[in-house]
């Protein structure tokens, strides 16, 4: 009897001391977030052939990531602390990690897997009677269960077949000439951002009636050495020209979007919060007429009106006190130069980022619509006489995308919109992300600022020359 007991004990010990199943990973482990191009890749882990658990879809091991939205919020306002906390609390739930690693999986499908108890978590257990020997096991995990750094989640292999296939988006094809034109718009590039000088007439994002957009062209021509396509973080009107910032990674784009958003939410009817590494934007506009005051601040709420039986809309100032949905908007302005011909160059600083904010504030509050703005200044353009000058010399230019790069200045019967995003000051996002990779609590007191200045488009430069403006002496050449 004792001999049988010893044989059984020895067999049990051999089983417990046997090496763990060999895992063949079909992906290279990464501690960072997955890129958009690799998020749909099947992470299949094959266990040993004699393992009853079979095969599983394996997610990357959990690791704390930069909370870009929180960083942007902390960075925007001066609370007396120069330290930014860049990472989360070091833990997340199993449900959130799955949705982050596999955004292609519907949330309801993932929740169903948890309800059916089909989600596993790899844990390490210590072999009894041997504190040094460890074995890996897969155990069921709940949706709200917190993960530790290095934990790995396993999903049923059938999930890859159940996930809906995304609609294949046709990639915009560019000729070599078009590609060179798009690349010529780049004013600045680093590992985190790209800054463009957007031309007049090119839409930022696709939509009804839009053949070509910056969003599509960036994905085709401006990826450079990145696997991800650049992402929009703010907007410019189609007819507005000038500086446009794009994020080159998901983290950079989220951080930039947060900075632009916090700039708007930080401004209110009661004042503007003081910023340490503030986002600063300046526009240059040529308006019809001249404001009564040389400088000032416009604080006027805006609301949307639906016109043409719902076919279109326009923004207007809500000055009648009606209880309607409004958005507060603040703009600082300064007269740069007035022309005896009835035109004025204005410097505009939007402290909020509302749709058509500058155009509506100029037309309805200052009473000086922007030249070329037929939506909000049609009455002024109806009575306007084109400016004529014997020095009117034009340079013929063309665009491979059919953009009207010729004419449109103050002497034209139908001038282009004279609104240009001239200057932007931003925190050095690339430097900040490098700091946060080294330490989650980073000192930003020495964080550099990036200053960008976009040359005037052709039609505004022609108007500049025709009106003999002295804008050049005011740093707007």
- Please list the active-site residues: 237
User: CA 307: distance to chain centroid?
Assistant: 31
- Three-state SS sequence of the chain: CHHHHHHHHHHHHHHHCCCCCCCEECCCCCCCCCCCCCCCCCCEEECCCCCCCCEEEECCCCCCCECHHHHHHHHHCCCCCCEEECECCCCCEHHHHHHHHCCCCCHHHHHHHHHCCCCEEEEEEECCCCCCCEEEEEEECCCCCECCCCCEEEEECCHHHHCCCCCCCCCCCCCHHHHHHHHHCEEEECCCEEEEEECCCCECCCCCCCCCEHHHHHHHHCCCCCCCCCEECCCCCCCCEEEEEEECCHHHHHHHHHHHHHHHHCEECCEECCCCCCCEEEEEEEEECCCCCCEEEEECCEEEEEECCCCEEEEEECCCCCCCCCECCEEEEEEEEECCCCEEEEEEEECCCCCCHHHHHHHHHCCCCECCCCCCCHHHHHCCCCCCCCCCCCCCCCCCCCCCCCCCCCCCCCCCCCEEEEEEEEECHHHHHHHHHHCCEEECCCCCEEEEECCCCHHHHHHHHHCCCCHHHHCCC
Q: Which of 349, 198, 235, 236 is nearest to 285 (CA)?
A: 349
Q: Which of 191, 198, 182, 117 is nearest to 155 (CA)?
A: 117
Do the Cβ atoms of 278 and 450 come closer than 8 Å? no
Rounded CA-CA distance 413/364 in Å is 23
Phi-psi category of residue 220: left, alpha or beta, with phi > 0 → left and psi -120 to 50 → alpha = alpha
The structure tokens 């007991």 sit at: 5
User: CA 202: distance to chain centroid?
Assistant: 19
Do the Cβ atoms of 326 and 459 come closer than 8 Å? no
């Amino acid at each position: 009897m004792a001999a049988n007991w010893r044989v059984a004990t020895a067999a049990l010990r051999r089983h417990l001391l046997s090496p763990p199943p060999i895992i063949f990973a079909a992906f290279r482990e990464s501690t960072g977030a997955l890129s958009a191009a690799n998020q749909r890749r099947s992470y299949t882990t094959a266990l040993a052939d004699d393992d009853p658990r079979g095969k599983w879809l394996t997610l990357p091991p959990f690791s704390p990531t930069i909370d870009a939205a929180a960083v942007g919020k902390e960075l925007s306002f001066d609370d007396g602390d120069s330290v930014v906390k860049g990472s989360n609390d070091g833990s997340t739930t199993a449900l959130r990690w799955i949705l982050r690693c596999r955004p292609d999986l519907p949330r309801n499908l993932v929740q169903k897997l948890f309800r059916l108890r089909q989600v596993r978590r790899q844990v390490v257990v210590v072999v009894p009677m041997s504190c040094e020997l460890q074995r890996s096991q897969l155990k069921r995990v709940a949706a709200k269960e917190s993960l530790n750094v290095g934990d790995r989640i396993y999903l049923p292999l059938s999930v890859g077949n159940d996930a809906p296939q995304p609609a294949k988006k046709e990639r915009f094809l560019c000729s070599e000439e078009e590609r060179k034109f798009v690349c010529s718009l780049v004013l600045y590039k680093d590992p985190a951002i790209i800054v463009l000088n957007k031309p007049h007439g090119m839409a930022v994002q696709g939509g009804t009636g839009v053949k070509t957009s910056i969003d599509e062209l960036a994905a085709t021509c401006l990826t450079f050495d990145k696997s991800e396509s650049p992402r929009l973080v703010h907007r410019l009107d189609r007819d507005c020209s000038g500086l446009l910032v794009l994020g080159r990674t998901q983290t950079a784009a989220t951080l930039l979007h947060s900075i632009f958003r916090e700039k708007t939410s930080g401004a209110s009817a009661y004042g503007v919060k003081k910023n340490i590494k503030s986002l600063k934007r300046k526009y240059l506009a040529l308006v019809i007429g001249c404001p009564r005051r040389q400088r000032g601040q416009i604080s006027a709420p805006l609301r949307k009106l639906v016109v043409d039986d719902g076919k279109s809309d326009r923004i207007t100032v809500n000055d009648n006190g009606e209880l309607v949905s409004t958005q507060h908007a603040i703009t600082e302005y300064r007269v740069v130069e007035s022309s005896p011909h009835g035109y004025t160059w204005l410097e505009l600083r939007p402290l909020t980022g509302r749709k058509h904010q500058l155009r509506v504030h100029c037309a309805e509050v200052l009473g000086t619509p922007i030249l070329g703005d037929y939506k909000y200044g049609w009455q002024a353009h109806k009575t306007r006489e084109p400016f004529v000058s014997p020095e009117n010399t034009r340079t013929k230019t063309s665009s491979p995308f059919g953009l009207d790069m010729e004419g449109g200045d103050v002497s034209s019967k139908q001038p282009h919109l004279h609104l240009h995003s001239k200057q932007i000051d931003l925190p050095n996002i690339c430097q900040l992300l490098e700091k946060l990779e080294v330490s989650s609590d980073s000192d930003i007191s020495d964080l550099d600022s990036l200053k960008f200045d976009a040359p005037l488009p052709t039609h505004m430069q022609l108007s500049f020359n025709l009106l003999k403006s002295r804008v050049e002496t005011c740093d707007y050449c």
